[in-house]
């Protein structure tokens, strides 16, 4: 048997641990492994893949990113592209494919599975917003980056009596911003799931000043909306192959910071964490759980359970259908958001 592995969408710390988990399990069973380069792009046109050997996955547990490369190529968006992918799977001799990614990558995997092709998934998205599973590769590392950033900004904010706005990841779900802000002690957290208006933020800053607190730290998700905040000029925002607007161009952190300083007169600085949340060495938690879901993905292939994906429930790795995890984003529940508000 020859197993193909691809990683699609944004890179995430822990992907290499998952690749290693699949590959080492396959090697132990006498199976061959083929690394597909650059996500779904590696199965388009003439295809781009090469064998993975034991030496190729040696020492990659601690490395960030993905040794296979990635892209946001979307075969569902191009006429005939899914047929090309199916053809290349056969031509490359791939008996089963393990696709590691978020809702975009896994939507393609689910569509292939519906066509009867031998595909399983692995949950990877820094936003941690896939349904059913409590964990996605890269989330814990991203939260650690946000936590450390908020920690570090406390001292400079206090020294200069400033408002610090920290922009973190979160398109539709604010898991990274909320968890990182909660762990780091942010004074206010703004995420996409719960409406906040500009006056609330301003009132919060004034209240802190009246209490003798001379600085504030606000953590905001890149996809959040703040009612009353001037909107960026319409039109021209670039989108990826899945139709997502490039959130870095929206600049919610910068716009919020400028407006707060203009209205309150409080000196304000903005830190956009951006791709630092994706980079660097994965945490121990990401390494362990990425390894577990990687090994579980191989076991699904071994057992012929295609169209499935390993998911985390409690301390166990269980199994769900690919179609279940991509239905809609898994959002931050209200009780967790209200917990964070206790510390405002």
Q: What is the pLDDT of residue 277?
A: 96
29 and 7 inside one domain: yes
286 and 311 inside one domain: yes
Nearest to 8 by CA among 93, 131, 112: 112
128 and 240 inside one domain: no
Q: What is the pLDDT of residues 111-161, one digit of tens each?
A: 999 999 999 999 999 999 999 999 999 999 999 999 999 999 999 999 999
- For residue 338, being part of any structural domain is answered with no
222 and 116 inside one domain: no
81 and 118 inside one domain: yes
> Which residues face 254 on adjacent strands?
none
Domain coverage including residue 145? 141-277
Q: Report the CATH number that the domain containing residue 150 is assigned in CATH.
A: 3.40.50.460
Confidence of residue 216 (pLDDT cuts 50, 70, 90): very high
What span, in angstroms and rounded, lies between the C-alpha atoms of 236 and 223?
Answer: 17
Secondary structure, 3-state, the chain: CEEEEEECCCCCCCHHHHHHHHHHHHHHCCCEEEEECCHHHHHCCCCCEEEECHHHHCCCCCCCCCCCCCCCCCHHHCCCHHHHHHHHHHHCCCCEEEEEECHHHHHHHHHHHHCCCCEEEEEECCCCCCCCCCCCECHHHHHHHHHHHHHHHHHHHHHHCCEEEEEECCCCCCHHHHHHHHHHCCCEEECCCCCEEHHHHHHHHHHHHHCCCCCEEEEEECCCCEECCCCCCCCCCCECCCCCECHHHCCHHHHHHHHHHHHHCCCEEEEECHHHHCCCCCCHHHHHHHHHHHHHHHHHHHCCCCCEEEEEECCEEEEEEHHHHCCCCCCCCHHHHHHHHCCC
Of 80-89, 225-234, 292-301, 314-323, minimum mean pLDDT range:
225-234
- For residue 260, being part of any structural domain is answered with yes
Q: What is the CA radius of gyration of the chain?
A: 21
In terms of pLDDT, which residue wins out, 26 or 230? 26
pLDDT above 90: percentage of residues in the chain: 93
147 and 192 inside one domain: yes
| 226-235 exposure pattern, b = at least 16 Cβ within 10 A, e = fewer | beebeeeeee
Q: Report the CATH number that the domain containing residue 119 is assigned in CATH.
A: 3.40.50.450
Rounded mean pLDDT of 205-226?
97
Rounded mean pLDDT of 56-62?
98
Distance of CA 218 to the CA centre of its chain: 21
219 and 288 inside one domain: no
Confidence of residue 231 (pLDDT cuts 50, 70, 90): confident
State the total domains in the chain.
2
What span, in angstroms and rounded, lies between the C-alpha atoms of 14 and 11?
Answer: 9
What values do phi and psi take at 40, rounded to 5?
-65, -20
What span, in angstroms and rounded, lies between the C-alpha atoms of 23 and 243?
Answer: 32
36 and 111 inside one domain: yes
Nearest to 282 by CA among 111, 124, 153: 124
Q: What is the mean pLDDT of the chain?
A: 95
- For residue 248, being part of any structural domain is answered with yes
- For residue 341, being part of any structural domain is answered with no
How far are the Cα atoms of 173, 179, 264, 276 from residue 148, in angstroms, in the given order?
21, 12, 27, 11
- For residue 330, being part of any structural domain is answered with no
pTM, full prediction: 0.94
- For residue 336, being part of any structural domain is answered with no
- For residue 343, being part of any structural domain is answered with no
151 and 74 inside one domain: no
- In the block, residue with structure tokens 């890149």: 222
List 11, 103, 104, 127, catalytic entry: 127
Q: What is the pLDDT of residue 244?
A: 61
Nearest to 20 by CA among 98, 79, 80: 98
How far are the Cα atoms of 16, 141, 288 from residue 24, in angstroms, in the given order?
12, 23, 15
268 and 296 inside one domain: no
- For residue 157, being part of any structural domain is answered with yes
Q: Mark whether 127 is an active-site residue.
A: yes
6 and 134 inside one domain: yes
Contact between 307 and 321 under an 8 Å Cβ cutoff? The reply is yes
Rounded mean pLDDT of 97-113?
98
What span, in angstroms and rounded, lies between the C-alpha atoms of 274 and 74?
Answer: 23
122 and 150 inside one domain: no
């Amino acid at each position: 048997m020859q197993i193909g592995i691809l990683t699609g969408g944004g890179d995430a710390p822990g992907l290499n641990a998952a690749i290693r988990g699949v590959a080492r399990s396959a090697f132990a069973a006498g199976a061959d492994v083929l690394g597909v380069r650059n996500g779904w792009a590696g199965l388009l046109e003439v295809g781009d893949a090469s064998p993975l050997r034991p030496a190729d996955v040696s020492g990659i547990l601690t490395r960030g990113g993905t040794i296979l490369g990635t892209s946001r190529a979307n075969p569902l968006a191009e006429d005939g592209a899914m047929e090309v992918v199916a053809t290349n799977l056969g031509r490359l001799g791939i008996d089963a494919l393990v696709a590691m990614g978020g809702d975009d990558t896994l939507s393609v995997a689910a569509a292939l599975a519906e066509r009867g092709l031998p595909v399983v998934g692995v949950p990877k998205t820094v936003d941690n917003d896939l349904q059913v599973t409590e964990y996605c590769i890269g989330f814990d590392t991203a939260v650690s980056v946000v936590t450390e950033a908020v920690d570090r900004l406390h001292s400079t904010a206090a020294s200069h009596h400033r408002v610090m706005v920290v922009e973190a990841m979160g398109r539709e779900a604010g898991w990274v911003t909320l968890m990182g802000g909660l762990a780091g002690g942010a004074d206010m957290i703004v995420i996409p799931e719960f409406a906040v208006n500009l006056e609330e933020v301003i009132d919060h800053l004034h209240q802190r000043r009246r209490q003798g607190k001379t600085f504030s730290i606000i953590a905001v998700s890149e996809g959040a909306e703040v009612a009353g905040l001037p909107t960026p000029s319409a039109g021209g925002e670039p989108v990826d192959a899945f139709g997502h607007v490039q959130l870095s161009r929206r600049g919610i952190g910068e716009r919020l910071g400028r407006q707060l300083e203009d209205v309150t007169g409080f000196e304000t600085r903005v830190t956009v964490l951006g791709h630092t949340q994706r980079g660097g060495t994965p945490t121990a938690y990401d390494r362990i759980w990425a390894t577990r879901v990687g090994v579980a993905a191989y076991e699904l292939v071994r057992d012929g359970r295609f169209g499935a994906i390993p998911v985390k429930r409690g301390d166990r790795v269980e199994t769900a259908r690919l179609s279940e995890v991509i239905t809609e984003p898994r959002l931050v529940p209200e009780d967790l958001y209200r917990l964070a508000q206790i510390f405002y």
